[in-house]
Structure 1
Amino acid sequence: MMSEVAAKSASLLSLEIEGRVARLTLTDPASRNSLSSQMMQTISDTFDEIAGNADIAVVILGAEGPVFSSGHNLKEVMSDNRQEVMLALFNQCSAMMQKIVNLPQPVIAKVDGIATAAGCQLVASCDLAFATKSSRFATPGVNLGLFCSTPMVALSRNVAPKHAMEMLLSGEFIDGENAMRFGLINKAVEPNELEDIVQKFAKNIASKSTHTVKTGKAAFYKQVNMPLDQAYDFASEVMANNMQSHDAQEGIDAFLNKREPDWQDK
């Protein structure tokens, strides 16, 4: 199924829905799947469409070609680099990244290639990420005199500070196995294993109550930067409210009675 949004921008992105799994693919390998203003707008619009579709339980974000995403389109950046234009562009990118975090559905990055600068930020912004061992990741802005300050936000919330600074200060590539060691991705696998592991996780998530997953994802990102006592107070309230839902009571009853739950997603 091709969405209306994706159909309008088929040269940039495609959206296919298979059961409860949405597959979003960047389809502009000629530009190295760069995050031009148009690409970011198309991605944002498509995430809005996905957010409003209760039938979608999980999203797989991938890309065509050898480059997952090279980040901002530097030709576009240099065509008009006035401060107010740059601020609008980077704010647009930041808003798009936050849509991933705020999306009700979990997003899984599927990476087989290169992800640099804002492209690396895109991977870091996803809830889960899997990549081939030969994939490479970098925040190379420092090499160009433009520190990767906005990619730094997502990167520093996913990897240890010294690993983040290693990437940001060196501008050098790390491979899939080091990306896994750093915590940027969940697992690095051989190319013939990538689709299988992504599908395994997507199907597993899709088998859960979407109400429960949505509740948990939102709570995770809200509590993660709270002081410990506030985080526990907040999480306790979330769990107490969650317990009132149909699916929580259904799931516990199913467990106690050794049967499969009948999720109503409410």
Structure 2
Amino acid sequence: MNRMTNEPLVAERLHEGVLTLTLGRMPAHPLSRDMIRALHEAFGRAVENGSVEVIILHGPGHIFCAGHDLKEVARHRADPDEGRAYVEDLFAACCALMLDVATCPKPTIAMVEGIATAAGLQLMASCDLAYAAPEASFCLPGVQNGGFCTTPSVPVSRLIGQKQVMEMTLSGATYDAEWALANGLINRVIPASELAEFVESFARKLATRNQNAVRSGKTALRQQLELPLNEAYALATPVMVEQFMDPARRHLDWKP
């Protein structure tokens, strides 16, 4: 829980197999150490919950997620030894969270209304899908603050081209939704008034699919992307065989 209010750091709503995780601490939804812990625990519960088929991650308002809580970091950095221990723990926890999101066996969808910046963009990019409003924007601003968005660029560099991610990290500039769509950072741009309905409808439909196939297929898809072509086929083929033999699979209407 947020120490300052009774608002949960991460609110959870389960409806028709779709779990929506809504980030608290408006308006920035910063990834404090407590927020990272709350998200990590929420994803852990979601994976174990047999009623959850799809996960939506939502940071409402004009900021999807502003990245790490820099005020919290600054408080700990006053003492060099304490600061290093805190920062090492923070980034280890953040890395573990991003891996949890990226490797989650259940489909994950980011719903983005505003800016996703630094580790906030890292969080969005770690999801399987991302749908954004036209007002959304995207930024890796570390270089503007004397640093470099090294860890946030890990998932981003796996979505967009090398030149594009180099420009994002070296300029620290903010990019709009159309640029993000054209470069593969997001899936679609949806009018803000229709965004929630579109994402929730898509997620509910996805929740009705054969989840055995969805989960094994999603995992194999991520794994084979890192492999040479022959190894990718060697990994994907037995997964496909098991999907065809799965008793839970719906009847196939074969047509000549």
1:44 CA displacement: 0.4
Distance 2:251 2:32 in 1: 44
- Which of 68, 89, 96 is the aligned partner of 2:64? 68
Secondary structure at 2:31's aligned position in 1?
A: coil
TM-score normalised over the length of structure 1:
0.88
Distance 1:9 1:18 in 2: 23
- Which of 55, 61, 73 is the aligned partner of 1:59? 55
The aligned amino acid for 1:112 is: E
Structure 2 residue aligned with 1:22: 19
Distance 1:9 1:178 in 2: 38
Structure 2 residue aligned with 1:126: 127
1:206 CA displacement: 1.1
Structure 2 residue aligned with 1:203: 204
Structure 2 residue aligned with 1:263: none
Distance 1:23 1:9 in 2: 19
1:244 CA displacement: 2.5
The alignment status of 1:251 with 2:251, answered yes or no, reads yes
Mapped contact 1:118–1:151 kept (Cα < 8 A): yes
The aligned amino acid for 2:53 is: A
TM-score normalised over the length of structure 2:
0.91
The aligned amino acid for 1:251 is: H
Distance 1:185 1:47 in 2: 22
Distance 1:134 1:64 in 2: 12
Change in Cα spacing, 1:169 to 1:104, as seen in structure 2 (3 Å) is: same
Structure 1 residue aligned with 2:214: 213
Unaligned runs of 5+ in 1: 258-266
Mapped contact 1:67–1:112 kept (Cα < 8 A): yes
Larger helix percent: 1
Distance 2:6 2:47 in 1: 19
The two structures, once aligned, show a CA RMSD in angstroms of 1.8
The alignment status of 1:40 with 2:36, answered yes or no, reads yes
Percent of aligned positions that are identical = 37
Distance 1:172 1:46 in 2: 32
Distance 2:221 2:88 in 1: 29
Secondary structure at 1:105's aligned position in 2?
A: coil
1:130 CA displacement: 0.5
Distance 2:156 2:6 in 1: 29
The aligned amino acid for 1:156 is: S
Say how many residue pairs are matched: 247
1:28 CA displacement: 1.0
Distance 1:28 1:65 in 2: 11
Mapped contact 1:20–1:55 kept (Cα < 8 A): yes
Distance 1:218 1:120 in 2: 22
Distance 1:48 1:169 in 2: 35
Distance 2:195 2:30 in 1: 23
**1:49-69 deviations in whole A, cap 9, x for unaligned?**
000112211111112332110
Secondary structure at 2:98's aligned position in 1?
A: helix
1:240 CA displacement: 1.8
1:195 CA displacement: 1.5
Mapped contact 2:16–2:204 kept (Cα < 8 A): no
Secondary structure at 2:159's aligned position in 1?
A: coil
The aligned amino acid for 1:245 is: D
Distance 2:221 2:251 in 1: 21
Distance 2:120 2:217 in 1: 26
Structure 1 residue aligned with 2:8: 11
Match runs of 1:154-233 below 5 Å: 154-233=155-234
1:72 CA displacement: 0.3
The aligned amino acid for 2:17 is: R
1:80 CA displacement: 2.1
Distance 2:50 2:105 in 1: 9
Distance 2:189 2:238 in 1: 36
Mapped contact 1:28–1:64 kept (Cα < 8 A): no
1:9 CA displacement: 7.5
Mapped contact 1:9–1:42 kept (Cα < 8 A): no
Secondary structure at 1:225's aligned position in 2?
A: coil
The aligned amino acid for 1:23 is: T
